[in-house]
Amino acid sequence: MASGKPSRFWPRLLVFAYALPRLILPSRRPENIRRILVAHHLLLGDTIMLAGLLKKLRRDYPAAGIDVLVPVAWLPIFAGAPYGVRALPYDPRSLASHRELLACGPYDWALVPADNRWSWVARAMGARWITAFAGGPGGSKDWPVDEHVAWPTTAEAWGDIASRLAPGQEPAPFIVGEWPAPGRPAAIPALPAAPYAVLHLGASSPHKLWPAEHWRALAEGFDVAEVRVVWSAGPRELDLVHAVDPEGRFVSMAGKLDMAGLWYLLTEAAVLVSPDTGVAHLARLTGTPAVVLFGPGSPIISGPGRFWCDSPFAVVWVEDIPCRDQNLLFERPLPWVRHCWRSVAECGNPRCIQQIDENQVMQAIERVAGIRLEKDGK
C-alpha cells in the first residue's frame, strides 16, 4: 500500500547519475578554496548546533562562498544569512529540489557532518573534495568520501564535534546577536504582554514527553508568580495542550507559528521550559533562558558544550537510569555515548522523563531566569 509520501527512488537515481561518473575521476585536495558546501539533512536542533562549524568556516575562509543544505521548514531562521552563509532548501523526496541543487555547484570542498549518505548529494553537486566523519557503517555511503575525520574519544557536545570537521582552532563561543533575526512575519498572532513563560510540550519522540500533570503544576506555579503562561507545540501536537489545559485557561500558540514566529515568541519570553527538542536549541540563538528536560537523550551531546557555554541553558534530568545505555551517534558506536532510542513497543514506561519532578524544574527556572516558583502556591 502506498504511504502517500513521494518516493525517494527518482531523486536518488538522479543523484547517482550525476555522482557516479565523478567517482571515476581522481580527487585532489583543493589548494584554493572558493566555494564550500555543508551537506546534511538533520533535525532542527542538530541543524542549529552546526552554528559553530559555520562560524569556524567563515573565520578561516572569509572570502569563500559557503552554502548549507537546510530542510525547507528551517529556512526562516537562515533568512539573515548567518556568518554570510547561504541556505539551500533541500527535500530528499523532491525531484525538483535535487534538480535545483545540482545547478548550484561545483564546490571546491564539501563537509558532511552526520550521516555519510549525503556525500552522494555533495558529489552530485560537483564537490571536488569531501570530508566526513569516520566510524560509520561504511559500504556505499562512504564511496564519495575523500577524507575521514576521527570522532572524539571523550564526551563532547554535538556542536563542538561538528566543528572538528574543519581543521584549525575552535570557533569563539557564540554571542547572542551574531545570528541575525529573521524578518518578523506580518501575520504573527498577537503575543501576550510580558512577563510570560513559554511551555513547549511537544518533542520528536513520545519518550521525551513530560506527563501532563507535571506541566499543569508548573503552569499553576507561574500563574501564582504572576508570570503568564503560553503553551507551545507543533501543529500535530494540539492534543498535548488539550490534555494539559482542557479548559483553555492559558494562552496557546500551538500550531500557530512558523520558525520565524516562534523566534519572536522566544525573543520576548522570560523563560522557555521544553523537552530536549529543536525549540530548546532555537532558544540558544535568541538568548532566551531555557530549562530543558532530558529523558532518553544525552545532556552532554545536546548540551551547551564549549561553543554554547555562555547560553542561559539549564539541564534537568535523572542521571541514574540504567536503560539509557545505547551508544550509537549517527550510526557510530562511541564508548562515551549514553542515550536511548527505544520505541514505544520496546519501552512503554519511560522512567527517564516521568521521574523528573516539578521541584527540579522550578529550581532550574530560578537558577537560569531568576523566577521563583513554589509548588502548590506554597
Distances (CA, A) of 308 to 104, 128, 225, 284: 31, 32, 29, 8
Whether 361 is in a domain gets the answer yes
Q: Are residues 158 and 200 located together in one domain of the fold?
A: no
Q: Place 1 in a pLDDT band, splitting at 50, 70 and 90.
A: very low
Q: Are residues 368 and 238 located together in one domain of the fold?
A: yes
Could you tell me the CATH number of the domain that includes residue 251?
A: 3.40.50.2000
Whether the CB-CB separation of 39 and 10 falls below 8 Å is answered with no
Place of cell 523563560: 271
Average confidence score pLDDT of the chain? 95
In percent, the amount of the chain with pLDDT more than 90 equals 90
Place of cell 511537544: 202
Distances (CA, A) of 33 to 26, 140, 145: 18, 27, 17
The SS3 of residue 41 is coil
Burial class (CB in 10 A: 0-12, 13-18, 19+), 42: buried
Whether the CB-CB separation of 263 and 188 falls below 8 Å is answered with no
Whether 26 is in a domain gets the answer no
Amino acid (1-letter code) at residue 209: L
Predicted confidence at residue 191, as pLDDT, reads 85
**Pairing mode, strands 313-317 and 85-90:** unpaired
| Model confidence, pTM | 0.96
Q: Which of 142, 163, 184 is the last residue of a domain?
A: 163
- Distance, first Cα to last Cα, the chain: 56
Whether 300 is in a domain gets the answer yes
Q: Place 3 in a pLDDT band, splitting at 50, 70 and 90.
A: low
Domain with 294 in it: 196-377
Q: Which of 138, 163, 188 is the last residue of a domain?
A: 163
